[in-house]
Amino acid sequence: MTLPEPKIDGSMSVEKAIKQRRTVRSFRKSALTMEELSQLLYSAQGITEDGGFKRSAPSGGALYPLDVYAVVGDRGVEGLAPGVYHYEPSGHRVDLISHGDKRRELARASLHQMWMASAPLNLVITSEYARITSKYGERGIRYALIEVGHVGQNIFLQAEAMGLKAGIVGAFHDSEVIRVMGIPLRHEPLLIMPVGYGT
Ligand SMILES: Cc1cc2nc3c(=O)[nH]c(=O)nc-3n(C[C@H](O)[C@H](O)[C@H](O)COP(=O)(O)O)c2cc1C
């Protein structure tokens, strides 16, 4: 499904978004709009180079080892069935990977951090290390880990700028997260970011 065109302007300064950003762990039930989902994914890994392939976050050698998945809850995003979606930067689209509301299972896989399931949307960032170690060897792993930090902060600041809040989770069982989401084994989860309206 092609996402709405992302905006390249907004009403909150980056200074204010940086000042306000906090890890938030409780969310209202309110659904996000497709526009909000589109904007969050664009901030994470959207193609920002006109006619090119370069993305919102920097990447060692522009090799882009990361993928972003959206775990959408029941009535989590208006007009989108609950499920796990893969973000495809070229074409700015999401493709359904698995059906159903996986939020509680995802929270259980994250050491029972059940607050995660209160967020209408969880963004999961994974790394396929081979895409970058093929050029940089072991050091490519470091580069992918640095890159995911950039993506996480982009999501935090974009959420803030839209009046949303985000959390960040690194405590989870990798293999359980992969199983729950139904994603390829080579996509190793690095970060999970619950997003929604704060309480
Ligand atoms: C790599 C990483 C992993 C984290 N994992 C978790 C987590 O599993 N659960 C959680 O509640 N917070 C987690 N946090 C959030 C930190 O607790 C939080 O960033 C820290 O307390 C500073 O607060 P702030 O983000 O509101 O400034 C994580 C943060 C980072 C950067």
Mean pLDDT (the chain, rounded): 98
Q: Name the domain count of the chain.
A: 1
Instruction: Write out the residue range of the structural domain in which residue 183 sits.
Output: 14-196
173-198 pLDDT per residue, tens: 999 999 999 999 999 999 999 999 99
In a domain, 175, yes or no: yes
pTM given for the model: 0.98
User: Is 106 a pocket residue for ligand 1 (Cβ < 6 Å)?
Assistant: no
113 lines ligand 1 (CB under 6 A): yes
112 lines ligand 1 (CB under 6 A): no
| Residue 194 CA to ligand 1 centre (angstroms) | 12
7, part of any domain: no
In-domain check, residue 84? yes
Contact 23 CB / ligand 1 (< 6 Å) = yes
Between the CA of 171 and the centroid of ligand 1 the distance, in Å, is 9
Would you say the CB of residue 127 lies under 6 angstroms from ligand 1? Answer: no
**Residue 4 belongs to a domain:** no
Judge if the beta carbon of residue 170 lies within 6 A of ligand 1: yes
Does 67 map to a domain?
Answer: yes
Q: In what order do the strands lie in the sheet with 66-72?
A: 93-99, 83-88, 66-72, 121-127, 188-196, 165-166
In a domain, 6, yes or no: no
Task: Say if 5 falls within a structural domain.
Answer: no
φ/ψ of residue 18, rounded to 5: -65, -45
Q: Which mutation among 23, 108, 160, 174 tests ligand 1's pocket best, with the greatest number of atoms within 8 A of CB?
A: 23
- pLDDT at position 51: 96
Q: What CATH number should be reported for the domain holding residue 64?
A: 3.40.109.10
Tell me whether residue 144 is in a domain: yes
Whether ligand 1 lies within 6 angstroms of the CB of 2 is answered as: no
Paired tokens of 32: 């996000």
- Atom 27 in ligand 1: which residue has the minimum CA distance? 22
CA 168 – ligand 1 centroid, Å = 5
Q: For residue 115, name the pLDDT band (cuts at 50, 70, 90).
A: very high
Contacts of 157 (CB under 8 A, 6+ apart): 14, 17, 18, 21, 43
Instruction: State the average pLDDT over residues 139-147.
Output: 98
DSSP string, 108-140: HHTTT-GGGGGSSEEEEEEE-THHHHHHHTTHH
Model confidence pLDDT, tens digit, residues 26-74: 999 999 999 999 999 999 999 999 999 999 999 999 999 999 999 999 9
Tens digit of pLDDT for each residue in 65-105?
999 999 999 999 999 999 999 999 999 999 999 999 999 99
pLDDT band at 143 (very low <50, low <70, confident <90, very high): very high
Q: Are 194 and 169 in contact (CB under 8 A)?
A: yes
Give the integer Cα–Cα distance in Å for 23 and 167: 5
Is ligand 1 within 6 A of the CB of residue 19?
A: no
